[in-house]
Amino acid sequence: MRVKSWTRWAAPLFVFALAIGAFILLQKTKPEPEQTEEGPRPISLFVEEVKQEDLKLTVNTHGEVRPRIEIDLVSQVSGRIVWASPNFVNGGKVEAGQPLIRIEAADYEYAVIRAEARVTEAETQVELKAAATEVARKNWDNQIVGEPTALALKLPQLEEARAKLRSAQADLDAARLNLRRTDISVPFSGRVRSKAADLGQYVNIGASLGRVYSTEVAEIRLALTDAQLETLGLSIGFQPTKDTGPLVDFSAVVAGKERHWQGRIVRTESAIDASTRVLYAVAEVEAPYDAGADQGVPMAVGLFVDAEIEGRWLEKALIMPRQALRSENTVFVVSKENTLDIRVVDIVYSDQDKVVLGAGVSAGERVVVSPVRAPRQGMKVQAIERVEEARQMALISR
């Protein structure tokens, strides 16, 4: 019984010791692992090539459409309004010289008749005085030797009669002018902005009847920074000869559709705006409500428009994507050996899509357009062309 109990607990111990011995033996006899040294994996970066091509620079800005001419319609005579044009309403279309308001003309017609009578009376007096002067000269020649005096020939009386005739004629001209002024019009084609008087109302001289603006030419003031002035090749006080200013493409969304109108820079103002520190250029659009409209949609006064102005022409310009430009005008260039080269570039022009460079890179070099963490000069990278990126995205979308 004792032998059986001893073997019962000794057998597991023997098996356990045997297992430990086998494990130690295997550990001592296994081969050593192969040692390999790997450097850090290169960072994958998206790149694009710098292009070289001829380029027309543009400047984007915005402004509000304003009429070149806008006036208060003012009465030059007093009286009651007896007629108003159907077009004399807010937004109504008016033509140059077309009567908008007519003031009662009876008093002015009477004034013309009275002035005509005074002119006739003055003409009669001139003829009488001239005849008296002729009679006085003949009598002097028949009776007295020598030259007569002006008083003897009654010349002062004749000059007085002629002066009164000129005065009467001036009164007649003024009366006729006031009569013409009873028809109130404007000297340009345009639109009525506001109406302040109507049929039956009595108005005094200088009373405002409404406000009218010209639609022959629209003006847009465009704010330009100093860099934009350089891009356009403009200066302070610029005034081109006819049809030589930079072309401007204006656009705005009207009734849910983008519309375009063509204009031209006609001048730049001669002073910098004190509050914004920019210089304003003035562009004009001919006939914005007629021939200059976009398929019948006018460039309406008060419309806020975007403007794309044509600038200088650059030959063999170096162009890269906007994403490639880093802070302090630096660019990351990937060399042929796939190392990173950090460079400072000379910027000629930039917008939201592209950057035009004057120096710092060459045509065909690859610039990084993706974010780079902790960039270092000479670090190893893996360049991925944007074309390859687009192909991979297309495969994923399938």
Residue-wise pLDDT tens for the chain (398 aa)? Answer: 454 555 665 666 666 666 676 666 666 666 665 555 555 678 888 999 999 998 888 899 999 999 999 999 999 999 999 999 999 999 999 999 999 999 999 999 999 999 999 999 999 999 999 988 888 888 877 776 678 778 877 888 889 999 999 999 999 999 999 999 999 999 999 999 999 999 999 999 999 999 999 999 999 999 999 888 988 888 898 888 777 889 999 999 999 999 999 999 999 999 998 888 899 999 999 999 999 999 999 999 999 999 999 988 888 889 999 999 998 889 999 998 989 999 999 988 888 888 999 888 999 899 999 988 888 898 898 888 876 444 444 444 44
| Cross-strand partners of 353 | none
Amino acid identity at 232 = L
- Contact yes or no for 340/332 (Cβ under 8 A): yes
AA letter at 292: G
Helix (H, G, I), strand (E, B) or coil at 391: helix
Contact 222, 284 (CB under 8 A): no
Distance CA 384, CA 386 (A): 6
Position 349 scores a pLDDT of: 85
Can you give the pLDDT at residue 66? 96
DSSP string, 52-80: EEEEEEEEEEEEEEEES-EEEEE-SS-EE
Q: What is the pLDDT of residue 88?
A: 95
**Tokens at 70, concatenated:** 């806008």
DSSP summary character for residue 324: G
In the three-class reduction of DSSP (H, G, I as helix; E, B as strand; rest coil), residue 85 is classed as coil
Side chain identity at residue 85, one-letter code: S
Q: Give me the phi and psi of 137, to 5 degrees please.
A: -65, -40
- The residue among 358, 367, 356, 352 whose CA lies nearest residue 308 is 352
Give the integer Cα–Cα distance in Å for 202 and 78: 7
pTM for the model: 0.70
What domains, with CATH codes, occur in the chain? 45-55+315-397 (2.40.420.20), 58-67+215-313 (2.40.30.170), 72-213 (2.40.50.100)
Token representation of residue 324? 């490639």
Residue 392 confidence (pLDDT):
47
| C-alpha to C-alpha distance for 205 and 103, rounded to whole angstroms | 11
With 0-12 / 13-18 / 19 or more C-beta atoms within 10 angstroms meaning exposed / middle / buried, residue 377 is: exposed
